[in-house]
Structure 1
C-alpha cells in the first residue's frame, strides 16, 4: 500500500493544477465548490486505507453514478436487453452531445457513460414509480459503498431539474425512437437524483474496491456477478473519462469514471479502489488536478492495466 506521506506529497505537487481549470457552473450549486480542493483515498483488498488532502469533502456523484446504475440495470434486465437499447462504443463527442443520436448509424446512445445512454439505462431500472426506482438506486449505491448515510443534495437536484433541458431533449428523442418506455419525466427524475447523491472520495474508493473485488463486498457477499463488474470496468476504461478517455488510457491506464462534481472513481482490478476529488475541471469536464494525481501514482507504481 502507498504510504500516507507519499500521497500527501502527490497532492501537494499537483495542487497548482487546480488553478488551470474551473469549477462547473452550468448547474446551480456546483459553482460554489472550492477549486483548490484536492484529495485522494486509496483502499486495498486487505482493507488498509490511506487518505490525503481533501478526501472527506462532500460533492455530488454526477456522471460517476452511470456505471453504478448500469450494474443495477444489468441485474434487473440482463445484458442482452440492456445492450439492445444502448451501445458499447466510445462516441468521440462530449458527454452531453445529442448530435449522434440522430446522425449516428446505431440510432441509439453509443454507450451508457454519456448522458443519453445513462438516461436510457435509468428507464430500465425496475420499480412501480420513479420514487421506488430511485430508492433502489440509492440503496444499491449505499450497499456497494458501505455508507448507509448517503443522500441527495436537494439544492443540486433542484438545479439539475431547472437546467436539464438538453437532457430532457435527449430523453424525449429516445422516447420518440421507441427506446424509452414509461413516462419521460419520471425517468429524468431518477437520473437527476442519482447525479445529485452526495459522496466523498472515501466513498468512491470503497466503490472502487467493490469493483476491484469483482462485485464482492468486504464481508464476502457477492452483489453482482464478476461478468457484470467486468462490463462496468471495461466501459469505464473505454468511455469513462468523456472524450478524453483515450488520452487517459495512455497516460494513466486505470479503469475510471469522472463526474463534473470533481470526483474520479478508479479501479485497479484485484488490488485496490481509488477515489479522487478535485472540482477544478479541464475543458472536457474531468478533474484537472485529479488526473494529474492519478497520472503520477500510476507512473510511479506501474498501476496501468496495460503494463
Structure 2
C-alpha cells in the first residue's frame, strides 16, 4: 500500500494565484458582478459539494446513480475493452467506481480536478482499491489546454466522463466549445455525460435551497476562499445565498446578495456594493433531450444512447464522436 502511494504521479497544471486574481477582478468589476464557478472547488468547497450530493432535496446525484446502475452493463458492452477513461471534474471519484468495476480491461483512468489536495486523496484511494489499474491524476482547470498523460498500455479509444449536471454550468456557447474540446481529445471514442432535464421549477428550487443550508455554505465558501488566497476582506455575514429559476432562460441562477451598502477590498482595489446587489456565482442550465442532442451535434458528437429515470428528472447519455 505504501509503495502504491509513493509511485502515484500527479500532473500539476493548476491555475496560479495570478490567474485566480485576474479572473476574480475581471468578474467583480463588470455589471452584473460575477465570479467563475470553477473556483468553488478548493478542498473545503469540494467537501461541501460532496455533502450537497447526499441531500434528500438534491435529486441529481441519487437519480444519476440509479440510472448508472441500470445501464452500466449495457455501456460496458457498447464500449468494449482497452479504453482509457478520462474524467472531467472528478471530485471524490465515487461515481466512477461503478465504471471501474464494470468496464472491460480498462487501460487507465485519468481523473482531472482543480482541487489538488482533494484530487490527491481521491486518486490515492482509487490506486489502492484498484491496484491493477493505472491511475494518472491531473490537477487542472479542465476547460484549459493541457496534454493528457500517456498510460503504459496501448489505448484503443479514449472515453470522456463528465457526470453530474456540470455541463449546465456553462453558458450554451461555452458548453459547445467545451464539448468540442472533448471531441478533439476523444476523437474516435466518445463521452459519457450527465445532463439535467427540464422539470417543475419547485423541484429545482428545493434542490438549490436546501433547508440544512449546505448549499448556502458552499456558495459563501467562495468568498472565504478569496479572503484566504487573495487577502480580500469580504464580510461573509453581510452576504446571503440566493438561488432562483429563470424560466425564460431555462436555468437556475445562484447569487450572493449584499445585505447592505459596503466596500470590499482586494489589494488596493475598492469594489463597492449597493444594498441588494449580487454576485452571480453560478448558472445551471436544464435541457430537454432534443435541445441537448442539437448541442451535442453542433459540438461534433451524436447521441448514441440516452438513459433516463422514470420521472425524466435526469439523463445519462453516451455521445460518440462524429
Report the TM-score, using the length of structure 2 for normalisation.
Answer: 0.30
Higher helix share: 1
Which entry has the higher C-alpha Rg, 1 or 2?
2
Tell which has more relative contact order, 1 or 2 (C-alpha 8 A, sep 6+).
1
